[in-house]
């Protein structure tokens, strides 16, 4: 719905980094952010809530960011990774 804050799910095994980035994003974007230090808990959150943006650490123990993206993609059928565009010279 228009006017509602965007919801972000951020996953990283570095808890200090989660806290710093969360505080910065909330202050600048006025969004709602859920954080998880484990991919397993993040997946549970994704099953319970709808998110507008996912931010994953790709190097985590057990389940890496790519696998988490794949698993959540089964729940969110329309998500695609953001890719850097390359400009032709």
**Along the chain (89 residues), what's the average pLDDT of each consecutive run of 10 residues?**
83 94 92 93 91 88 84 74 50
Residue 89 has what pLDDT? 42
Determine which helix (DSSP H) or strand (DSSP E) holds 36, and give its type and residue range. strand 32-36
Closest by CA to 50, choosing from 83, 19, 78, is 78
> Per DSSP, what are the bridge partners of residue 54?
9
Closest by CA to 46, choosing from 27, 28, 29, 63, is 63
């Amino acid at each position: 719905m228009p006017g509602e804050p965007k919801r972000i799910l951020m996953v990283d095994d570095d808890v200090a980094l989660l806290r710093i980035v969360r505080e910065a994003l909330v202050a600048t974007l006025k969004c709602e952010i859920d954080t998880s230090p484990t991919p397993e808990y993040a997946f549970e959150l994704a099953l319970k809530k709808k998110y507008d943006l996912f931010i994953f650490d790709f190097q985590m123990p057990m389940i890496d960011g790519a696998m988490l993206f794949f698993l959540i993609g089964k729940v969110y059928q329309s998500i695609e990774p953001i890719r850097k565009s390359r400009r032709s010279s």
